[in-house]
Chains A and B, each alone.
Chain A
Amino acid sequence: MKILVGYKRVVDYNVRIQVKPDGSGVETSGVKLSANPFDDIALEEALRLREKGIASEVVVATIAPADAQAHLRNGLAMGANRAIHLVTNDAIQPLTAARAFLKLIEKEQPQIVILGKQAIDDDCNQTGQMLAALWNRPQATFASKVEVNGGAAKVTREVDAGLETIEVDLPAVITTDLRLNEPRFIKLPDIMKAKSKPLETLQLADLGIASGDTLKTMNYAAPAKRSKGVMVKDAAELVAALKTKGLL
């Protein structure tokens, strides 16, 4: 079976994002870019399913500008068999991303599609669910455990109330939560090997996907700052301070 993995490039999670003073966006020039942490987890899960003999091929896909090839090479170095680069210069929204992934599904016929539960740049948490809807297939979001048995997968999901387990028929879309696994580190020889792995480049526009993005971002603002508070020296002072605030 084939697994398709969403592998988005985002601003590294350690970067302190700054909003541009004119409110036109956030500062991204010269900022470190990395794989979305949830997508590293998605790829790791796919690789483990391949290592268990459940999957035979893992394909990573990204929708990004032309300079994202090195990013895909990282996915190949981590262990993906092939990469697909859908090139576009637009920062596309989830519905368009889902439509693009649907085209890839038609082309690749995967049994499982694993995406991150959310991209840590737009924090949308939508693409996997939208893709499953457009594909008319099951979704198992926020996965912390995946067991594949023949034509179905049993997925444990991190939900507000605790841990929910559902069973979905394949093919299906799974989105990852943080505790699904710990992604492996890329080893030097694998970086060399990745150079000769297949990387297919397609123009997003050639797939017949006009950017269907309909949400307009009017303005970017820095979040309201919390003002610095007071320091107390011991537990008794803390209790007194809470009483003053009427909290005890």
Chain B
Amino acid sequence: MSKILIIAEHLNGKLNSSTARCVSCAQAIKADAIDVLVLADAPDAIAAEAAKIAGVTKVLTVANAANQHALAAVYAPQIVAAAAGYSHVLAPSTTFGKDLAPRVAALLGVAQVSDVISVIDAHTFTRPIYAGNAIITVQAPADQVLVATVRTASWAAAADGGSAPVEALSLSAELPTHTRFVELAQGSSERPDLQSAGRVVSGGRGVGSAENFAIIFKLADKLGAAVGASRAAVDAGYVPSDLQVGQTGKIIAPELYMAIGISGAIQHLTGIKDAGTIVAINKDGEAPIFEVADIGLVGDLFKIIPELEAALG
């Protein structure tokens, strides 16, 4: 019998869609109960969003001023207290979940399965290793709580349509004060979110400069797309780090991904392996990106992008 606890991810009072993606993974485990735990300073609005996700059995809230920011050291002991009676604890494999879940697992004294991409049975999963160059099937012991992170790009968000009850929990967990939030410098949020956008336009080192990146943003706006980047473009300072796509950046699965001036290193490709259609624009016809692109166009991006915009009307 599986009873699953999903740790909700939220920011600025809004639920992140990674939570609904975890619900899809939980459904694949064929659980008897799928509960969502919301730790926040003011959890009600977030809990109301979570209650609407189809498939959720119950939403549990822990209201505490200490939970205003998602500090793993503060959240983890509360999750351990809430996890009693559950067979699985799931978190998204976003920076939130990656930071938090291993701390929970270690407090519970159990291993963690990172980046679940498919479920074989309640304790057997597949996950990528070596930047996605191999997929392993791992089995966890059935007699322990299973802590796992769910690779969000591999799971569609469970739809709305539920109306789960919301229950306030009071936990007795001692919370540390050794870790303090200072600030969050957020990028501009006017464009679609990179992790959930249906379309993404990414630029690489070939774009050449931060100024030149304006043409990537312009094309993205025309397509209603989010903007991404390769590590080389981020390292060179063209765009902020939260736009990096790849093994050590964001793993995404948009319907349409356009890689512009990106060579297609394996560490980049692992971030887009589940994309619907990959378009590559690169002046080097031998670039490895063309081996995975569904549609390839060889040429100078500075010539092609204006033509593309014109052709888009």
Per-position 1/0 for A132-159, Cβ under 8 A of B: 1110111111101000000000100111
Contact call B130/A126, Cβ cutoff below 8 A: no
For the complex formed, measure the closest distance between the CB of B313 and the CB atoms of chain A, giving whole angstroms.
9
Q: Which residues in A have their C-beta under 8 angstroms from that of B293?
A: 229
Contact call A226/B273, Cβ cutoff below 8 A: yes
Chain B interface main SS type: mixed
Per-position 1/0 for B68-106, Cβ under 8 A of A: 000111001000000000000000001110111111111
Contact call A129/B266, Cβ cutoff below 8 A: no
Contact call A130/B102, Cβ cutoff below 8 A: yes
Q: Which residues in A have their C-beta under 8 angstroms from that of B195?
A: 160
* Residues of chain B from 84 to 134 with CB closer than 8 A to chain A in the complex: 94-96, 98-107, 109-115, 124, 126, 128-134
With A162-B184, A163-B184, A238-B279 as contacts: A129 and B291 at CB distance below 8 Å: no
**Is A107 positioned at the interface, with any CB of B under 8 Å from its CB?**
no
**Is A16 positioned at the interface, with any CB of B under 8 Å from its CB?**
yes
Q: Which residues in B have their C-beta under 8 angstroms from that of A94?
A: 102, 111-112
Q: Which residues in B have their C-beta under 8 angstroms from that of A230?
A: 294-296
> Which residue from A144, A167, A228, A234 sits with its C-beta under 8 Å from B291?
A228
Q: Which residues in A have their C-beta under 8 angstroms from that of B99?
A: 129, 139, 141-142, 159
Contact call A218/B137, Cβ cutoff below 8 A: yes
Q: Determine the distance from Cα of A19 to Cα of B132 in the docked complex, in whole angstroms.
A: 11
- Total A-B Cβ pairs within 8 A: 253
Per-position 1/0 for A216-244, Cβ under 8 A of B: 11111111001011111111111101100
Contact call A123/B247, Cβ cutoff below 8 A: yes
Contact call A166/B179, Cβ cutoff below 8 A: yes
> Which residue from A125, A215, A236 sits with its C-beta under 8 Å from B111?
A215
> Which residue from A123, A162, A232, A235 sits with its C-beta under 8 Å from B242?
A162
**Is B176 positioned at the interface, with any CB of A under 8 Å from its CB?**
yes
Total number of A residues with any Cβ neighbor in B under 8 Å: 82
Contact call A247/B277, Cβ cutoff below 8 A: yes
Contact call A178/B231, Cβ cutoff below 8 A: yes
Total number of B residues with any Cβ neighbor in A under 8 Å: 88
Chain A interface main SS type: mixed
The interface-forming segment of B27-35, B51-59, B139-147 is B139-147
Q: Which residues in B have their C-beta under 8 angstroms from that of A16?
A: 133, 266
Minimal Cβ-Cβ distance residue in A for B104:
A133
**Is A70 positioned at the interface, with any CB of B under 8 Å from its CB?**
no
The interface-forming segment of B36-44, B205-213, B304-312 is B304-312
Q: Which residues in B have their C-beta under 8 angstroms from that of A229?
A: 278, 293-296
Per-position 1/0 for B233-276, Cβ under 8 A of A: 01100001110000110100001100000000011000001001
- Chain B interface residues (CB < 8 Å from chain A): 11, 71-73, 76, 94-96, 98-107, 109-115, 124, 126, 128-141, 144, 176, 178-187, 195, 231, 234-235, 240-242, 247-248, 250, 255-256, 266-267, 273, 276-279, 290-299, 304, 307-308, 310-312
Rank and list the top 9 A-B pairs by shortest CB-CB distance, nearest first.
A129-B102, A229-B294, A235-B307, A133-B106, A130-B106, A17-B133, A126-B102, A165-B182, A169-B178
* Inter-chain pairs besides A129-B72, A129-B101, A229-B294, 9 sampled, C-beta below 8 Å: A120-B131, A126-B114, A142-B95, A142-B99, A159-B96, A160-B94, A213-B111, A221-B126, A222-B133
